[in-house]
Structure 1
Amino acid sequence: MEDAAPTFRNLVTSFTDFLTVAIHTILYERSIYPHTSFLSARKYNFAVRQSRHPKVCEWINDAVAAVEAELLKGGVERVAVMIYDKSNKPVERYVFDVSRFPTLSTSDLDIPLERRGADGQGVSVLPRVDMEEQFRATMSKLTGCNSMLAAIPPGCTFTIAIELKGDGEAPTAHPQPWMPVQPQLSKDGAGDPIVTTKPVRAVAAGEMVFETWIEQVKTGGGTG
């Protein structure tokens, strides 16, 4: 039923579905792989690109599944798509701030979220169609990100990173899907980040609220 109250697991899955599409879009827009290796597709009634390389798709799906597992634990502050140059230095970071996601106990993950009543009780949930409209608007901004970013060097690679909340427990299961990384891109001699920040969009779907922005290392030229 379209307007039935979803569970928190449903909301997290909606976000990770969006994250998957966003990752493919970023890889296409920033030419991490040749444009000819992407297919045309539609998501949220919007034209998107999807890598057709099986290994790339498998890696992205596995990474997003690992992100989803941590989101369900409620300890994730931010999810980031990191882009590195050939010398393994980070040059861009696409940040999804999920710090305002609710934190639920494991026993409550599959209980339908209540709609907020006049007394303010319950959890505010938007109908799926409204949520997808916001996802579509965010995808539109990501699709045009090249116009507001400086060029990146050829031969860049990417990975997915998560930042945990202050009281979050680091994922230390074996085999280890996560490796520790620096949370910031780069610093100058004074210790200040050498980055420019470009806002993308905020999504507010009831209690599932997140913001998206792009961080890019400053260079001597370009539009950044």
Structure 2
Amino acid sequence: MSKDLLVEFLEVAFHGILYYRKIYPEEIFEKQKLYGIGIWVSQHPDVNEYIDNVLVTIKEIIAIADNSIKCVNFSILDSQNEIIEKFVFDLFSIQGEAKVADPYFRSTEESLRTICLKLSIAESYLKPLPEDVTFNIEVETCEEVHDQINKKPELEHFPWIIKESQPTDKPPVDNFLLPLHSVKTEHLGLQVFAIGTQKSES
């Protein structure tokens, strides 16, 4: 189903960002294969547990309604806890059932493959990250959905909170927008881009 494909892709993308942006040492990653290409997957228990918990919640949110998620933000923060780079997964449509025209999701998987390849070359355009960065993942949805997921017993061990916008909130430095790819198929509508600091020309 489209929903499972989306969650699978987000998992691959999250691990890929951690690897390609060098947030963790490459020694903790293992190379695997998906969409016909090599991907990098973290083997660190704590990192994987956090990502897995995020993905479980995303599954629960999508189960409430196809349009319950507006976007997913993978933010990279510096030692002062300020966002210096962000990868945005802007979800504008998702179709729950496979359609006759593409029952095996081939066109969708090809588009997701393209995004994974674009993630692998993002470092060519983005400034190297400083040391001691951290990351978090935000899911933009409505307050009603937030209330519903916080009532689910299976999610009690990983509570989500509503982020309050503060006047001091800063966007990623320099606001360099790097489009990665757009998925526009009968199963999925998704736009992926990064915001950060452009790499200096040598």
Fold similarity call, TM over 0.5: yes
Q: Where does residue 89 of structure 1 map in the other structure? A: 82
Structure whose alpha-carbon radius of gyration is higher: 1
CA distance in 1, matches of 2:53, 2:20: 22
Q: Where does residue 62 of structure 2 map in the other structure? A: 71
181, 185, 205: which one aligns with 2:163: 181
CA distance in 2, matches of 1:100, 1:60: 23
Compute the displacement of 1:143 (Å): 0.9
What SS class does the counterpart of residue 93 from structure 2 fall into?
coil
Identity value in percent = 24
CA distance in 1, matches of 2:40, 2:69: 27
How many residues align structurally?
190
- Give deviations 1:68-90, integer Å, cap 9, x for gaps: 21123232111111111111111
CA distance in 2, matches of 1:48, 1:187: 29
18, 25, 39: which one aligns with 1:27: 18
- Give deviations 1:85-122, integer Å, cap 9, x for gaps: 111111111111112335xxxxxx6xx4544xxxxxxx
Q: 1:41 to 1:70 in 2, by over 3 A?
A: same
CA distance in 1, matches of 2:140, 2:15: 21
Q: Where does residue 171 of structure 1 map in the other structure? A: 146
**Alignment RMSD, CA only?**
2.6
What SS class does the counterpart of residue 93 from structure 1 fall into?
strand
**Which 5+ residue runs of structure 2 have no aligned equivalent?**
none
Contact 1:198 1:213 in 2 (8 A): yes
Contact 1:84 1:158 in 2 (8 A): yes
Give the TM-score normalised by the residue count of structure 2: 0.83
**Which 5+ residue runs of structure 1 have no aligned equivalent?**
1-9, 103-108, 116-123
